[in-house]
Amino acid sequence: MFTYLLPHVEVLDDDALATIDRGWRRLLAEIGVSFDHPEALRLLRAAGQHVEGDVVRLDPEFVLAQAALAPSSFTLQARNPAHDIVIGGDQAAFLPAQGAPFVRRGGARRDGTLADFADLVRIAQHLDDIDSPGGLPCEPNDRPLDSRHLDMTSALLKLSDKPIMGGQISGDAARDSIALARIALGARFADGASLFAVINVNSPLHFDGRMLEALLAHAEAGSAIVVTPFLLMGAMAPVTIPAALVQQTAEALAGIALVQLVRPGCPVVMGSFLSNTDMKTGSPGFGGPESAIGLLASGQIARRLRLPWRSGGGALTTSLVADAQAAYEGTVTMTAALQAGANMVMHTAGWLEGGLTTGFEKLVVDIDILRTLRAVLTPLVVDEASLAFDAHDEVRQGGHFLGAAHTLTRFRDCFYRPLLATTENFERWTRNGARDASERATGIVDGWLAAYEEPPLDAGIRAELDEYVVRRRRELGD
């Protein structure tokens, strides 16, 4: 895991924070949030909130009191305890891109398959930079829709021993993933959060029935709930960043308050995913300055609320391929997420095409970006020894440091060693095929997959997982 040791970058002053605070309070109290689920409405009504149809107007003080029941940081358990991670505080966890129906691999774009899904889980398991494979690194389109979640959770638990995301597109998916995680983690399951679920708000100000079904199931099981407003300004939010921040805070807190009614103390994460519509075309835009500013502000708001925070991005981009656009848009949002102090960075690596595609080559690009930024955010040690006066005394005016004693004792690890970036000169680069970064990345993916080792899994547990999947697949009619 990565620990933040430098001060975060902040863009809001106290006045701005107070104005945003007034804004979300008014939104919850006067406009309210709709919940498309009777149990959610029942819980909120019983807690004294004003329910009219499916619209609930919430008391801001109640919402804050509920949010205060959640831990400001918690451990997310992995099948292998050595891979447990901490969500919150000064810690950052990194997850690959999630949710894409397509993959781009070796120059071609096509429907994702379970084989792609498995390879992405293997890569997430292999890389120390990645703390969790998440739950949906791409959509396995070749599997039947009703039971696809079984293939996914089972593959996640077998191919990786890092913490995973549970099913969340329905109550069935949620409950099945909980059952499978319970088998895999055994007695440890009950010790804390053993799954997490990302519950997207159907913004503006609406939670749909299937998401609420998953929220309720996961909250009952004590999974960590990442309540994430998905805001494209101009579509699901107004076109001013402060308005989107107010809406994001109101929606996230409404969901978090509900989680705490189901299970007081349940770990939650304040989610954010704030970008904008391209107003010329109506298409979604990702990776621009609005996302970056939104991230920096969101981090401040989450810290003020003492809640762990998931950043929307990651290395976001609307680019179709792992080109210059993909890299600069991705670097801009990733830098903002890290400088804002994100605790859980989803879509760290592989995101393309506004999230429609997981790119294997883009994943390599993004890992090099992540490693570079982690190095930038590592405090510089400045002491007398670091000044290397002896080296200057040895080399003097007009000399060269390559052979200096100071260099010779440090040359192996004195600088960051890039994963993908080349320092080849033009002649050597041309001789080696004149390949750009995206072309070179394919070989790195192959190397990772070759180096991957499947983590050990007790044969009894494996059989139990398989039995569960076979039985449930039959019950679901696939």
Residues 232-271 close enough to bind a second copy by CB under 8 A: 233-243, 246-247
CA distance 310 to 458: 33
The smaller minimum CB distance to a second copy, of residues 187 and 381, is found at 381
Supply the minimum distance, in Å, between the C-beta of residue 88 and a second copy.
24
Peptide bond preceding 137: is omega within 30 degrees of 0, i.e. cis? no
Among 52, 384, 450, 453, binds a second copy (CB under 8 A): 384
For residue 200, the cross-strand partners are 228
By CB under 8 A, the residues from 155 to 174 that bind a second copy are: none
Maximum pairwise Cα distance, the chain: 81
Q: Which residues are CB-neighbours of 147 under 8 A, at least 6 positions away?
A: 472, 473, 476, 478
Host H or E run for residue 108? strand 108-111
- Whichever of 265 and 430 has its CB closer to a second copy, that residue is 430
- Closest distance between a second copy and the C-beta of residue 404, in Å? 7
**Cα 166 to Cα 472: distance, rounded to the nearest angstrom:** 16
Q: Does 6 bind a second copy (CB under 8 A)?
A: yes
Instruction: Kindly tell me which of 192 and 288 has the beta carbon lying closer to a second copy.
Output: 288
Site for a second copy in 197-216 (CB under 8 A): 202, 204-206
Residue type, 90: D
Among the listed ranges 21-29, 215-223, 340-348, 450-458, the one in contact with a second copy (CB under 8 A) is: 21-29
Which of the residues 66 through 95 are near a second copy (CB under 8 A)? none
Among 116, 129, 172, 353, binds a second copy (CB under 8 A): 353
User: Measured from the CB of residue 123, what is the shortest distance to a second copy in angstroms?
Assistant: 18
What's the token pair of residue 106? 């070796």
**Candidate ranges 180-188, 361-369, 455-463, 465-473; the one touching a second copy (CB under 8 A):** 361-369
Instruction: Give the binding range for a second copy (CB under 8 A) out of 149-157, 165-173, 258-266, 327-335.
Output: 327-335
Nearer to a second copy, 3 or 422 (CB): 422
Indicate whether 335 belongs to the interface with a second copy (CB under 8 A): yes
Please say which residue, 201 or 217, places its beta carbon nearer to a second copy.
201
CB of 37 to a second copy, least distance (A): 14
Task: Assess 52 for contact with a second copy (CB under 8 A).
Answer: no
Residue type, 239: V
Q: Which of 372, 457, 462, 464 binds a second copy (CB under 8 A)?
A: 372
In this complex, which beta carbon is closest to a second copy, that of residue 11 or of residue 449? Answer: 11
Using CB under 8 A as the binding rule, whether residue 50 contacts a second copy is answered as no
Cα–Cα dist 336/11, whole Å? 11
What is the smallest separation between the CB atom of 257 and a second copy, expressed in angstroms? Answer: 16
d(CA 334, CA 136): 20
Least Cβ distance, residue 476 to a second copy (angstroms): 29
Selection from 57, 320, 458 nearest residue 466 by Cα? 458
Window contacting a second copy (CB under 8 A); options: 23-31, 155-163, 171-179, 209-217 = 23-31
| Sheet with strand 357-359: strands edge to edge | 108-111, 102-105, 357-359, 351-352
| Element (DSSP H or E) covering residue 17 | helix 14-26
β-strand 85-88 against 73-76: which pairing, if any?
antiparallel
Q: In 3-state terms, what secondary structure has residue 257?
A: helix
Number of residues that bind a second copy (CB under 8 A): 127
Q: Which stretch binds a second copy (CB under 8 A): 120-128, 143-151, 152-160, 231-239?
A: 231-239
- Scan residues 401-460 and list those touching a second copy (CB under 8 A): 401-402, 404, 406-407, 410-412, 414-418, 420-426, 429, 434, 436-438
DSSP state string for 236-303: TB-SSHHHHHHHHHHHHHHHHHHHHHHSTT--EEEE-EEEEE-TTT--EE-SSHHHHHHHHHHHHHHH
Please report whether residue 376 would count as binding a second copy according to CB under 8 A.
Answer: yes
* Stretch near a second copy under the rule CB under 8 A, chosen from 125-133, 146-154, 230-238, 255-263: 230-238
**Subset of 105-134 contacting a second copy (CB under 8 A):** 109
Residues between 265 and 324 that touch a second copy (CB under 8 A) = 276-285, 287-290, 292-293, 297, 317-324
Footprint of a second copy on 30-49 (CB under 8 A): 30-34
Tokens of 427: 């002649």
What's the rounded Cα separation, in Å, for the pair 251 and 254? 5
Pairing of strands 284-285, 273-277: antiparallel
Q: Measured from the CB atom, is 3 or 283 closer to a second copy?
A: 283
User: Shortest gap between Cβ of 203 and a second copy (angstroms)?
Assistant: 8
CB of 360 to a second copy, least distance (A): 13
Is residue 460 within a helix (H) or strand (E), and if so which, with residue range?
helix 459-475
Interface with a second copy includes 29 (CB under 8 A)? no
Strand partners, 276: 233, 285
3-state secondary structure at position 30: helix
Dist. CA 174–CA 71, nearest whole Å: 22
- Give the list of residues 6+ apart from residue 91 with CB closer than 8 angstroms, or none: 1, 2, 3, 4, 73, 85, 343
What is the C-alpha to C-alpha distance for residues 313 and 304, in angstroms, rounded to an integer? Answer: 21
CB 210 within 8 A of CB 173: no
Q: 67: helix, coil or strand?
A: helix
